[in-house]
Amino acid sequence: MERTAYHFQPPKNWMNDPNGPLFYKGLYHLFYQYKSQAVVWGKVWGHAVSKDLINWKSLDFAIIPSERYDIKGCWSGSATLLSREKPVILYTGQDNSSRQVQNMVVPKDPSDPDLREWVKIPEIPIIVPENGINGSSFRDPTTAWLGKDGKWRIVVGNKEDRHHNGKALLYISKDFVHWTKKKNPLHSSKKTGMWECPDFYPVAPLGKLGLDTSATGPEIKHVLKVSLDDTRFEYYTVGTYITDIDRYVPDNTSADNKNGLRYDYGKFYGSKTFFDNHKNRRILWGWINESDSVQDDIAKGWSGVQAIPRAIWLDNVSKSQLIQWPVSELESLRGNKIYKENIILKGGSVIEIEGVKAAQVDVEVSFELPSLIDLEKMDANLDAQQLCSQDGAASKAMVGPFGLLVLTSEDLAEQTAIFFRVGLHQHNMKILMCSDQSRSSLKTNVDKTTYGSFVTFSFNKKDVSLRVLVDHSIVESFGEGGKTCITARVYPNLAIGEDAHLYLFNNGVSSVTASKLTAWDMGYAHQP
């Protein structure tokens, strides 16, 4: 399997969660869970810097296990800027008795924009699991925010064993070194299991700009995201942070459990955002893990990539979900471009898009919907993922499936289909977005789960849009301007390099028009 061309990927071995992203003295920093000796698990903090979030320079490991409080592993954590010149990192250490404790490092030389060396402070561990907290479910400190009382706050992910309730434990500190646990968590939710990598941040009610993590105000909403260990997917709610009592209350606009909203409905986990004070945006990093077998990972010598960093903001209309879009810097890798208009896709058609290198491409397409009559009734008992999995791209409805076939062999035997289907679900008109991996590879020992979600869509519009980033084994899809995102891993045998093809298709009854299609060959980014 070829390595990726423009996704963040270390030269070899295992990588998982993105850690401690920040912008400092002109450089973006990304740390990551890395296993330097093998492809199977992550324990040190890898470190790379970039001027543009796309091209990276690798640096020495930032944090490695060395003392009793982290000797079994330096796990995930976050960076906070205490002031412009004062970055600090909190991370979870697995100590010599396998307990999870929270630790802190500071730069040896804050004047070094690369922040190459990090020093463990003498007071470590700064937070230990006490008073009934299970030391094996106590990890992943967030970026801190400052309250009006001048005290710092962080959240640590936790599970309360007896009821299997997920919790965001809240800690508070004056000096960032001595921390006290607040009696009540910032938030908790019943029977959700361990909350890994919590993330808590404010979002602006209007526009796409991000806010500093400490921002509060009457118009400002907050987001709480958790990575659920039970499902290995990530869920978030939009709500209100009641600062007087330090509690977060989700708006009742989506479920606060594993039926809730997800950043991504495919492979995307252990994510973290940061406020980019250089361009005033909030950026999301997330880990895309493999779908192949451990044996294949060992054979190829690497496992795990980072998704393209995404700008993330509150949907200004509904104010109840987030929108994500690849950072604009990615566009610097766009090369040769093709543009087409008004391609009519009759029911049953497959039309090749020639002129781009289909294994490494960025495609944006708008589909004009036909008249929405005699729509299929989607099974009301099935959720979006289950509906997408029913025959996948091979299903046939009145409107759809229509979309793109990426990383597809000439004979169509290998294909990954990203598509829409319009129908009635529980009496409402809905657009389903799916990523169907069932025919993505002739190989059998890979996970070919089909992913899907409904897309928020206002039916007074005529066009639905899709953007897909294809990078050899990665297919990152953004529906309707980033309202629904689905990331997949695929490992074609035939559809590789020059033998990969790109098609538009429509398996539905009604014709659909691809009103605009733009595709760019993508170049190679400097890998860390």
d(CA 247, CA 263): 23
The answer to whether residue 289 forms part of the interface with ligand DQQ (CB under 6 A) is no
Q: How many CA atoms, within 13 angstroms, populate the side-chain half-sphere of residue 491?
A: 18
Which of 73, 370 has the CB closer to ligand DQQ?
73
Q: Which of 7, 139, 159, 501 binds ligand DQQ (CB under 6 A)?
A: 139
Q: Which of 10, 42, 198, 492 binds ligand DQQ (CB under 6 A)?
A: 42
- Which residue type occupies 400? G
**Catalytic residue flag (residue 17):** yes
The answer to whether residue 285 forms part of the interface with ligand DQQ (CB under 6 A) is no
The answer to whether residue 75 forms part of the interface with ligand DQQ (CB under 6 A) is yes
The answer to whether residue 33 forms part of the interface with ligand DQQ (CB under 6 A) is yes
Which of 125, 270 has the CB closer to ligand DQQ?
270
| Minimal distance, residue 39 CB to ligand DQQ, in Å | 14
Q: Is 174 left (phi over 0), alpha (psi -120 to 50) or beta?
A: alpha
Q: How do beta strands 484-489 and 187-189 pair? A: unpaired
Q: Which of 4, 16, 103, 456 binds ligand DQQ (CB under 6 A)?
A: 16
| Minimal distance, residue 511 CB to ligand DQQ, in Å | 44
Q: Which of 76, 137, 456, 477 binds ligand DQQ (CB under 6 A)?
A: 76
| b/e burial code for range 3-41 (CB count within 10 A of at least 16 → b) | bbbbbbbbeebbbbbbbbbbbbeebbbbbbbbbeeebee
CA-based nearest residue to 522, from 363, 325, 326: 363
The answer to whether residue 196 forms part of the interface with ligand DQQ (CB under 6 A) is yes
- Using CB under 6 A, which residues numbered 343 to 402 contact ligand DQQ? none
- Using CB under 6 A, which residues numbered 220 to 259 contact ligand DQQ? 227
Q: Which two tokens stand for residue 460?
A: 């007074």
Q: Is 329 helix (H, G, I), strand (E, B) or coil?
A: helix
Which of 34, 505 has the CB closer to ligand DQQ?
34
Q: Which of 250, 270, 423, 508 binds ligand DQQ (CB under 6 A)?
A: 270
CA-based nearest residue to 369, from 459, 278, 479: 459
**Residue of 17, 140, 292, 297 with catalytic role:** 17
Which of 141, 400 has the CB closer to ligand DQQ?
141
The answer to whether residues 428 and 492 touch, using CB atoms and an 8 Å cutoff, is: no
Which of 99, 139 has the CB closer to ligand DQQ?
139
- Count of positions on this chain that bind ligand DQQ (CB under 6 A): 14
Taking the alpha carbons of 487, 489, 494, 500 in that order, is the dihedral positive or negative? positive
DSSP string, 162-185: TTTEEEEEEEEESSSSS-EE-SS-
3-state percent breakdown (helix, strand, coil) of the chain, nearest 5: 5, 50, 45
Which of 15, 115 has the CB closer to ligand DQQ?
15
| Minimal distance, residue 92 CB to ligand DQQ, in Å | 5
Q: Which two tokens stand for residue 60?
A: 């020495």
Q: Which two tokens stand for residue 416?
A: 């990954």
Which of 124, 345 has the CB closer to ligand DQQ?
124
DSSP string, 109-125: -TT-TT---EEE-TT--
Report the chain's terminal Cα–Cα distance, integer Å: 19
The answer to whether residue 272 forms part of the interface with ligand DQQ (CB under 6 A) is no
| Minimal distance, residue 195 CB to ligand DQQ, in Å | 9
Return residues touching ligand DQQ (CB under 6 A): 16-17, 33, 42, 75-76, 92, 139-140, 196-197, 227, 269-270
User: Which amino acids are annotated catalytic?
Assistant: 17
